[in-house]
A = this chain, B = another copy of it.
Amino acid sequence: MITNTTVAHRKHDHGRCLNAALTQAQTLCKAQGARLTTTREAVLRLIWQSHKPVGAYHVIEQLSAEQGKQIMPPTVYRALDFLLTRGLIHRIASLNAFVGCPFPGADHSDLFMLCKACGSVAECSADNIDQAIASTAAKSGFMVETHALEIIGLCPQCQ
């Protein structure tokens, strides 16, 4: 099991999260021969401003403010697609919003714990859950490709 619950749901030095994310992104893109352009990095930084999922239009607003000109949706959505494809961010379907991946590159399945109260999201990858899913699906003869699990509740801070 790998997780970022110990930081995501607690007080911490978020600058370190941000720096780690940017460094990992640069490394990963370099390794893949992908270009982490200014726009893409700016979007990644905005997604990583906290552990709360950010909507695409919120990114558009903030990016427009930063750059002093109106940024159009396709610009941001293209950057988001790029980051999603590389596994640098995830999309939280139930919120139509995006959150940074704390361990990009690492082979992991996605499991998100969404705090109803503060809105922060922790990610986790747990073998026992993956196995339970695999075995349940197998009983039905279903061939699993991917899965998305969103757990809604209260984080340690908000209980």
Give me the interface of A with B, judged by CB distance under 8 Å: 1, 3, 5-6, 9, 93-94, 111, 113, 115-116, 122, 124, 126, 128-129, 131-133, 135-137, 139-156, 159
The oligomer's copy count stands at 2
* A129 nearest CB neighbor, chain B only: B132
A128 vs B116: C-alpha distance when bound (angstroms): 25
* A154 nearest CB neighbor, chain B only: B143
A69 CB, nearest partner CB in chain B, Å: 31
Decide yes or no: A142 and B94 within 8 Å by CB, A132-B126, A133-B149 being known contacts: no
| Residue among B3, B131, B150 making CB contact with A140, cutoff 8 Å | B3
| Residue among B129, B141, B142 making CB contact with A136, cutoff 8 Å | B129
Decide yes or no: A128 and B122 within 8 Å by CB, A144-B153, A151-B137, A156-B141 being known contacts: no
Decide yes or no: A147 and B152 within 8 Å by CB, A128-B132, A129-B129 being known contacts: yes
A36 vs B116: C-alpha distance when bound (angstroms): 31
- A137 contacts B113, C-beta separation under 8 Å: yes
Which residues in B have their C-beta under 8 angstroms from that of A154?
142-143, 145
A143 vs B156: C-alpha distance when bound (angstroms): 7
Which residues in B have their C-beta under 8 angstroms from that of A142?
5, 9, 113, 115, 122, 151, 153-156
A126 vs B134: C-alpha distance when bound (angstroms): 12
- A136 contacts B148, C-beta separation under 8 Å: no
A77 vs B93: C-alpha distance when bound (angstroms): 19
* A10 nearest CB neighbor, chain B only: B141
Decide yes or no: A136 and B94 within 8 Å by CB, A145-B154, A150-B147 being known contacts: no
